[in-house]
Each structure stands twice: as structure tokens, then as C-alpha cells.
Structure 1
Amino acid sequence: MPKLRSTAAVFTTMSALAATSILTGPSVAEPFSPAPCALHRSEAHHSEGVDTWNPDYTRPTGALHAVMIFLSFPDATPHTRPAELAADHFPATSRFFEQASYGRFTLRPHALAHWLRMPQRSTAYAMRRDWSADNRAAYLRDAFAVADKEVDFARYDVVYFVADPDAPGVDSDATKVVNLDTPVHVDGTDVRRVVTVFEKHPPDRLVLAHETGHVFDLPDLYHRPVDGKGDWDTYVGDWDLMGSQFGLSPDLFAWHKWKLGWLDPRQVVCVRGAGPTRLTLEPLAAGPGIPAQGTAGAPAFGLGHGAKLAVVRTGADSVLAVEARGPAGNDHAGCRQGVLVYRVHGSAASGAGPVEVVDAHPDTEACWENSVYPPLADAPVALGESFTVPGEGVKVEAEGRTASGAWTVKITPGVTG
């Protein structure tokens, strides 16, 4: 393993470090999508607006480099090697993004080969899910100080601080992305956010992919009960990684792929007018080199460049999104296939329901043995079915399948009764 640091660095801002999980949008944004159905990006944390890109975040296109730094503590001797912990997350995390982006984004990990010793005992940092700002800032201050001796942060786009999972003070529920009110200026670069990893060995499935999604401005899609009890997955169920890393169909929604720049403008269809619109939607996960399940049960190739997303405006800050989901790519373990409908709210903040899946079968559930939320596991409109979205008067019909495995769909706004 080559050394990760090439030159000495000057670290000047740790005394002013402030950590928070909420950032407001910047005053200047990069133009992104001019489509008439594109929601405006709001000041909400991780807004689902797609008309501009928030320049405070790195856009995940091309190749980005991530550094994994392993932290041990004076009150514990690690039982695992850094290479083992790196293997817990890679290549699975890179593979997820490679497939989700249709090859447009590659995440390249660079893992330190040894442990770096933190100055305080693990219990001194009081790690937990709702971590206090002071304890979190102390942890990051010490982590940057010990890592700066060996890591040239200017070489990396993503930073993972991975704690010894066997240290007594390490709480796996504390894994999260920390956004910084004041970026840490180190090695001539500003570090605006850090993924703090406290996972057990082996970790939760796809947990690092979920946290990395926040680095790219994707919101949490789960519902957190007020008392911490009850279902967390009532908003989107299995249908997006940002809802649950345990989902059976965890590929990112087509809306998110549009936001991240992984869909071309021609792959998004804006449905307008009161009359019916017929279109062909490729399965979301199918792309170049990734098969879609054909109508006869055999893999069908040749997909990847057609329409992936249909959008119907329902208000100044809301849309209905329509996409086809099936057992391919990141969705290979999916429970049901069909045409999935969901609501998107541009001004709803992360964790406040920015996306809500619409259940086409509200009286039934499916895959109760392994779905994160069985009532939504059978949410898609199945082949030959029609469904009118409650409260919106938009009718969605899954009319058929093409020889390549794409779905032929009819969408009719303005349906009453």
C-alpha cells in the first residue's frame, strides 16, 4: 500500500471547528435542468429540487477518490485489521454506485493499511446517534490531527473516519455524515463533510453507500418515529437506498439519478396536458451491460439509453414521479416488479418525507419475511393493471412489455371519480 501523504500540511482551523448535521443552501447555484417538470431547489436540507446543483457538494460524475482512515483508542486493542474493515465496504460500495450511475460515476477507495491512535479513550467521546456537537467536534478535531501526519487530504473527494468496532465506547448507531458549518482547511483544501463510521464487523448491508449518498446531497427518506419506536420505513419502504440500506430494491430513485446527473434530459419525460400520454419506460436498474428481466423470463439486453422517468406536475413544489422497477442490477433481489409511483416535495427537508411511495395495492402486503416494510413491498402497478393516484386524479396504466423488457405505460392526468 503506497503512502497516502505526499507532503506536510498546515492545519489551522481545528480550534474553530463546529459540527452540525444541517446546512442551508448557498446563495449561488449551478444551473442544472431546464425541464418544465423540474422542481426548484429550496433552502431545505438536501432539497429534492433538480433545477440547480448545490455547489457545496461534489457532484458524483467521473471518478472520485475516497480515503479510509482507521482510528483506534487507548482503551482497546483492535481485533480486526484495517484491510478487513475496508473489505466490509469495498468493492460493494463502489459496485453499487457503478451500477446505479450506469457507469457514469466511479468511487475509488484508498485505505490506510494501519491503525492511527486517537489521544483519548473511546468512551471519552460519548458517541451515540444524537451526538452532542461538542463531543462530535472533539472527535473530529483529534481525528484530523492524528491523520494529518500521514494523509494528504487534498488528494481526496470523500473522507471516511472508521473507528475500531471493538472499542467499548463505539456505538454503531452513531454512523453518520457530519457537515461542517466552517470547513476544515487542511493541506490547502476545504473539507466540508466527513463520514464517521462506527459500524460493527461485519457492518450493516450497504450502510456506507447510504452515508456516501448524503455526501452527494441526497436526503434521508425514512420516517423517524418521535419516540424512536415503530416503523421507520413508512415513506418509501424497500424502494431507495436512502430509505433503507436493507431494502430489497435499494437502487436510487430515477428522480435522484436525475438530480445527480446520471440521466440525460431525453430520459426524463414531462407529462403535460389533460389527455393520455403513452410512453415506454426502461427498468430503472437496466443499463449498458446490465440486463432487464424480459417478458419471457430470459435476460434482455440492449437497454440503457431510453426513458427512465416520467413526471407529472401536481403543484408549484410537488410532482408525481413514475418509473419501472424490476429484478436487475441493484434491484436484483426485488420483491415485486412493475410501474412505481411516488410523490416528490421539493421543499421537504431530509427526514421530513421529501419522497413518498404511492401504494397501488393499499389493502395487501408482500414479502413479509424479508421486506423492510411489507405494506409497500407490492406498491408498483403490475402488468395489465391501472391505478388512479388518490388526491391527484392521475391514472397510471401498465399496458405491456416490449421484447427488450421495457414497460409500455399510459399516464392520464385529470381523471375524476
Structure 2
Amino acid sequence: MSREPFPEVSVPRQPPRARLRSTAAVFTTLSALAATSLITGPSAAEPFFSVPCALKRTAAHHSEGLDTWNAAYPRPARTLDAVMIFLSFPDWTPLSSPDDIAADHFPATSDFFHRASYGRFTLRAHPLRQWIRMPKPSTAYAIRRDWSVEQRTAYLRDALTAADRQVDFSRYDIVYFVADPDAPGVDSDATKVVNLDQPLRADDTDIRRIVTVFERHPPDRLVLAHETGHVFDLPDLYHRPVDGKGDWDTYVGDWDLMGSQFGLAPDLFAWHKWKLGWLGTHQVACVSARKASRLTLEPLGAGPDVPGAGASGSPAFGLGNGTKLAVVRTGTDSAVAFEARGPLGNDRSACRSGILVYRVHSGEASGRGPVEVIDAHPDTEDCWENSVYPPLADAPVALGERFTVPGEDVRVEVDGRTPTGSWTVKITPG
């Protein structure tokens, strides 16, 4: 399972070496430091967006600010290569082949990102064809959700050392360590991204983060896409109850993969697509807080090669380069966003169609509510049989409705639909 309780734990590294075969002593020596070393983002940043409603990136883990790109993360605006390394253990003989397990995740993960990015990003997987044997039994690593730093360090140390004999890390942008799902010590709840406080060095290449996969076979739907989102600096959008009981999905419900990979409408928010470079500034409307604005918003899932239904059942081909996101700036680190959602692309199972409204806070860390969907129908719920959180399943503002955003004194009215399926809206400040 991909839900992570806290920001990913950082693991210190050895001084730069040509290869990783001498990592063991350094991991052992520095493992105590990892317990308190958390990534807040390096000072190096690439200029990105400089429009009025682009919130500034803060020191919060996976900040939703997008005026700059955090240069510690690969930017998914080109083809990226990912190696899948399959780890077996001496206490168990694998029941599945690496090919079988690779097929659990690909091409589904690549397809998700292709649709989400409107073809602007390609994730190319390179799965190994053989198991790589770990030196210890699976039970020796005590794999679990809230893994101790020392035990996780030992696992990474052994995995990196074993894999370095067969993998040229200089060829890859992303590293997936995939454990034998049937081994007795493997806990599917432990799947997560491990960030490195300082990069490991292998084959003259910095390795800044590793995706550790412990999923069942077959796995949770889109779980690897969720974890890969962290590799691109996207935050967790779910809420972990203090006692571990209750609803996890109260922040965003079904409406973004980083909230739940089980969501009915798991396409990434337009804000995230803007952050990742998949939407241009010409596709974002910064709405004045002083006067009303009339806009036409294209469905988030519509792209030049995405089939779907327009307002009267017509194909949605030809859409994809118009306005996808409207933003009202509400503070130095906050904004309200508006986007059109419906059963297109990654959202083909969406419960309701309409204008989804949500708050963005660039100062809130991953897992602490950096995005919150605002429910336009707080007294009702829908799709209770398969929604991850039915109270938010009917959150969008529907055709012919008007809705005032609580606490912000901003009103949105959904006036109509165009023949191609876009939504016409009026956004009015207080």
C-alpha cells in the first residue's frame, strides 16, 4: 500500500565512489543520522513560472509552490528511463517471474502518465529479466509500514550492493527495487519512496531516491504511478488518522492519484499538471480578486488524442490546448483553483461531472493537507458503493449551479457547455 505516514525518511550516503560495493560500512556508521534527517528541498532551483497566481515554493516537503522547480527531482517533461530490479531472498523460492510482476505495473503506469501529460511525458520501463538474490532471509529485514531507519538502511545497503553487480545506474533516471511479493517477510503496506539526504554515487551517477516496492501480485491499482508521483516532487494528499482508524481520504477523496490510487477520478489535479510542466501558462487563467471573469474551461482529461464525449455526445478530439485551470490567489501561500472534471482519460470512472473547486497551500507539507477539495454539495454524497470517500464524490459544481467558496467570498457559476464539451463559467469575487 502506498500511503506514507510521514515525509519519506532520508538515508545518508557514503562519500563519492566509482561503485557501490563498499556501501556497507558507511550505511552502518551513518544510519543513526537518518532518523532525524528529513529533506526540505535543496537551495538549487530552476526558474519556472512567474505569473501572479503561481504560489512560491516553500521549504515544506513536496511544496505545492511552483514558481521554481526543485532541481533535486527529475522533471517529467521528456522521456525518463526507469530500471526495475527484482529482489529475491534465500528463505523463499519466487512463485512468479520478473516478467509477470513487471506486467503488473507496465504499461499501466506509463499509460497513466501519457494520458495525464497529454503525451508530453514518456516513462520508459527497463525491467530486469532475472531475480537478484539478497544476502539475508526476507524476515531478517523486518519490513513493515513504519519501518525503523536501521532496518531500512540494511535493506537498501544489501539491495544496492547486490544490484550494482548487474546494473549500470548511469543509464536510468528512476530506480525501482521490487521485492518478491510472496516472500514471508514482505509486507505490502511498506511500499514507499525513500529519499536520500545526500545522493548515493554509482557509476558516476547520483541516486537521490529509490522506490521500494513490496506489493502483492497482482498489486493495488496504480500504486506504482502514485509512488512515481513522489519521484516528481508531488505530495501525499490523504490524511492519516492519528489512531490509524477512520477515513484517510477526507482531503481530496477520489480526485487525484496522490490522494488515492483507488479513486474513481485519479487524474492529477490541473495544479499538479501545471507544476510538472504539462500545462503552459497560456492554459492557466489568473482570476482577479477585484472583478468578475467569464471563462471557458476545457475538461481536464481532454487532449488532442483523447476520445470522449462532448456536451451532446460528440467526440472530444481537438481539445487539449485551451484553458484548463482558473486560479484566485487568496494569500501569500494560498489559492483557490477551479477545473472541469468528467469521465475522460484517466477520469473515465468519475462519479460526477462539473467544476471541481479546491484550495492549495504551498506551505503545507506532504500528508498535511496541501490540497483540499471543497464540497459544493456538503449535505449529500454519491457513488457510495465504489468511491473512496462518498461525501466528496459529488463535490463538483454542476451545470446550472452557483457556489460560494466558504471563507473566501468567491462565487463560481456554471453557465453552460460548448458543443465540444468545454464548460463556461463565471467567477466573481466578493
1:264 equivalent among 269, 280, 283? 280
CA distance in structure 1 between the aligned counterparts of 2:322 and 2:23, rounded to whole angstroms: 48
Task: Indicate the larger mover: 254-263 or 8-17.
Answer: 8-17
* 1:329 alignment counterpart: 345
| Residue 252, structure 1, aligned to residue 252, structure 2 | no
- Kept in 1: contact 2:289–2:328 (CA 8 A): no
Q: SS in structure 1 opposite 2:376? A: coil
* 1:397 alignment counterpart: 413
* 1:174 alignment counterpart: 190
* 1:348 alignment counterpart: 364
1:143 equivalent among 159, 178, 181? 159
* 2:6 alignment counterpart: none
- Kept in 2: contact 1:292–1:303 (CA 8 A): no
Mapping of 1:10-409 within 5 angstroms? Answer: 10-11=19-20, 12-17=22-27, 18=31, 22-409=38-425
Q: SS in structure 1 opposite 2:197? A: strand
What TM-score, normalized by structure 2, do the two folds share?
A: 0.93
Structure 1 residue 364 displacement after superposition: 0.2
- Kept in 1: contact 2:48–2:66 (CA 8 A): yes
Q: Which residue identity is paired with 1:125?
A: Y
Structure 1 residue 15 displacement after superposition: 3.3
Residues 155 and 14 of structure 1: is their aligned pair in 2 closer, same or farther, counting only changes over 3 Å? farther
CA distance in structure 2 between the aligned counterparts of 1:273 and 1:255, rounded to whole angstroms: 19
CA distance in structure 1 between the aligned counterparts of 2:296 and 2:233, rounded to whole angstroms: 29
**Matched positions, count:** 407
Structure 1 runs of 4+ with >6 Å offset: none
- Kept in 2: contact 1:46–1:219 (CA 8 A): yes
Q: Which residue identity is paired with 1:412?
A: T
CA distance in structure 1 between the aligned counterparts of 2:360 and 2:289, rounded to whole angstroms: 20
Task: Indicate the larger mover: 217-226 or 294-303.
Answer: 294-303
- Kept in 2: contact 1:9–1:148 (CA 8 A): no
Q: Which residue identity is paired with 2:39?
A: L
- Kept in 2: contact 1:269–1:307 (CA 8 A): yes
- Kept in 1: contact 2:23–2:161 (CA 8 A): no
| Residue 411, structure 1, aligned to residue 422, structure 2 | no
Structure 1 residue 16 displacement after superposition: 2.9
- Kept in 2: contact 1:25–1:43 (CA 8 A): yes
Deviation per residue, 1:99-127 (Å, 9 max, x gap) = 00000100000000010110011011011
Identity within the alignment, %: 73
Structure 1 residue 13 displacement after superposition: 4.4
Structure 1 residue 25 displacement after superposition: 1.6
Structure 1 residue 237 displacement after superposition: 0.1
Structure 1 residue 184 displacement after superposition: 1.1
Structure 1 residue 22 displacement after superposition: 3.5
Structure 1 residue 409 displacement after superposition: 0.8
- Kept in 2: contact 1:292–1:326 (CA 8 A): no
- Kept in 1: contact 2:306–2:316 (CA 8 A): no
Residues 324 and 122 of structure 1: is their aligned pair in 2 closer, same or farther, counting only changes over 3 Å? same
- Kept in 2: contact 1:238–1:248 (CA 8 A): yes
* 1:5 alignment counterpart: none
- Kept in 1: contact 2:86–2:98 (CA 8 A): yes
Unmatched segments (≥5 aa) in structure 1: 1-7
* 2:14 alignment counterpart: none
CA distance in structure 2 between the aligned counterparts of 1:151 and 1:273, rounded to whole angstroms: 54
Structure 1 residue 62 displacement after superposition: 1.1
Structure 1 residue 294 displacement after superposition: 1.0
- Kept in 2: contact 1:292–1:405 (CA 8 A): no
Structure 1 residue 413 displacement after superposition: 1.1
Task: Indicate the larger mover: 148-157 or 295-304.
Answer: 295-304
Structure 1 residue 9 displacement after superposition: 5.9
CA distance in structure 2 between the aligned counterparts of 1:272 and 1:413, rounded to whole angstroms: 8
- Kept in 2: contact 1:76–1:167 (CA 8 A): yes
* 1:4 alignment counterpart: none
Q: Which residue identity is paired with 2:385?
A: E
- Kept in 1: contact 2:23–2:157 (CA 8 A): no
Q: SS in structure 1 opposite 2:158? A: helix
Q: Which residue identity is paired with 2:59?
A: E
